[in-house]
Chain A
């Protein structure tokens, strides 16, 4: 389906909107420019209401938005609301044009509520011979554009991000992904078809057996029971396999959570580290005390005395030695003279007895010496006493002091580094939620136990299946023999064969779609996502290394070393949008679905080259052989900034939505009318006119074009 024209009358503030959309395969893009508050969301809702009615609107809009008419509409006056969509459907037979009209009447009440009349809906096929109204419009629309996939076809800026992510279990949050894959590829329809054909086939088998009677009927009944048992085993097996998959996913997630906590550090290891650091600090404290004692000892030591007085002392000792060499000390002559006088004989042999002339001379000399040499005596005494100093070990105070200070500095450094490490370890310990670690460990143990249980059950089912399968095969053989001997009508036998052919065909197609086709979506998704985020296939350093669709149809974002990323917490907003868009584009391409891709404010969180690449990727015309498509982007001026050239090249239709409420603050021209309303003009992203011109449009270089304000 490609929508050609949208007309909206009195839907919220959209008074009379008429927008042409591009259906040109070479220019698949339609740009609807609209600032915030101009009616983008209302247009989005109007189209959904036009296609599916109130039920679809209730599922996406809050109850407060359910009123369809403008809140400015006076109470008591009925408002006729209408949406008309012109679209075309192309299939192998060619292209047909259709028109869908939905209308309703609302009467606003004084309290703000409305009384809504019955909706009218009309679907017409437009032909050269005239319009032909079709019965059951909803069924046709369901076939062309299923209501359950409304999120895929019509997305707003926030939902484009929430489509894949959300604060829910992966299984639940990817429900839309599963539904989209199954519905658009036809897997869902084939699954139902297989069950239905099997039921029809069983009916034919029963009929054949009844016709043949006796043994065949009995064998057929037994075979049916065995096949049913086999089916139940398969269903149970499938159920347990899914459960095992969920347990394993849960296990991976919880292991990752635990590893994330352990990335901060293992609690036991940190506690051990803290104890060790405390021990180190106590030990260093002991060394510091010893070091201080050494320094105190140094200050009390002879070494310090020698350092302070050694030089003058040694000079004095040298002088005393010099005096000794000059024989000025020690003072021995006085004692010798005294001894000689006492002996009465001189050294030279002369008589020194009292009265002798020589004795008087010596006595005189002795008296002179005694008077004159008190200083020499003191010096002699000093020299004798200082003799002990020569044997003292003259310690190197400076060296010992430097050693002690160096040791002190080393110990202080060690204290600082150990204290810092201790503080860091304590901080890391504070970050660890001990309870959470315990919980996670317990949950992982429980998951391991459950895994064991499920594997055990799967093993049992395998064994049971083998037995039932063997019995089935035997019974089938028995049935074939019974059939050969029975008289089944030829027509019934042929119908049964045809039913079996149809069943085999349905199963084969289902297998192909579930396998190779989902794989194609997966590969295309990976390529397109990488194109948008700017990663090439050889990039081994990026956070995201690949995206894929798993066998259970989950979108998996992989990082380095094969780790999968949680799209909620580990993928940024722009990448989340890129992922959703890449998924929708890839799936619709591989599924061959021609349907509008209508996106309200898709570039809100995207900027720079990523924005350029995103717009480039989602507006690229299909290559020959690829599925044609239509994309409608509702963009603000700031979203348009930087991608104008791509829009020039890719867009086949333009429109601008504006609201009268923006005058005079932002909107330059007044339109007239008392009630607020939104309207559209044909301006492109390069233009402005009497309807849409805004205060800064001249600064943006937008050229002026004439548009009727009436």
Chain B
């Protein structure tokens, strides 16, 4: 367990404000945010952290594209 369990807890409540792009989208966003917060301890450079975010966004984006059927555009 990370020393910051409240991030996940609060995210569970706040994510409800966001659109549900596919079934399980909210849980995935929470997971990504939690990972980003936790992985900071393992990553020393800004670039490393941002690459991780880009990868996670891309992964969830792919899921949204294949399961959700489109963007909000």
Contacts and interface: CB of A to CB of B under 8 A. Distances in A.
Contacts of B65: 490-491, 494
Contacts of A595: 3
A513 B49 CA distance: 22
A207 B3 CA distance: 36
A385 B32 CA distance: 133
A483 interface: yes
B64 A497 contact: yes
Interface in A160-196: 183-186, 189-190, 192-193, 196
Contacts of B54: 200, 203
Interface stretch (A67-75, A374-382, A387-395, A499-507): A499-507
A143 B2 contact: yes
A186 B1 CA distance: 13
Given A490-B65, A513-B6, A592-B5, A505 B46 contact: no
A632 interface: no
A197 B52 CA distance: 10
Nearest to B40: A189
Q: Is the interface of A mostly helix, strand, loop or mixed?
A: helix
Contacts, number: 149
A139 interface: yes
B72 A497 contact: yes
Given A139-B42, A189-B37, A193-B36, A493 B73 contact: yes
Which of B19, B54, B57 is the most central at the interface, judged by chain A CB atoms within 10 Å of its CB?
B57
A593 interface: yes
Contacts of B11: 505, 509
A323 B65 CA distance: 152
A490 B49 contact: no
Contacts of B30: 505
Given A494-B70, A502-B53, 9 more contacts: A91-B5, A143-B2, A193-B53, A196-B49, A494-B21, A494-B65, A504-B17, A593-B5, A594-B1
30 contacts: A142-B42, A186-B4, A186-B6, A189-B7, A189-B40, A193-B37, A203-B54, A484-B73, A488-B73, A490-B65, A490-B71, A494-B64, A494-B65, A496-B71, A497-B21, A499-B57, A501-B18, A501-B21, A501-B29, A502-B60, A505-B33, A506-B33, A506-B36, A509-B10, A509-B14, A513-B7, A517-B10, A590-B6, A593-B4, A594-B1
Interface of B: 1-7, 9-11, 13-15, 17-19, 21, 29-30, 32-33, 36-38, 40-42, 46, 49-50, 53-54, 56-58, 60-62, 64-65, 68, 70-73
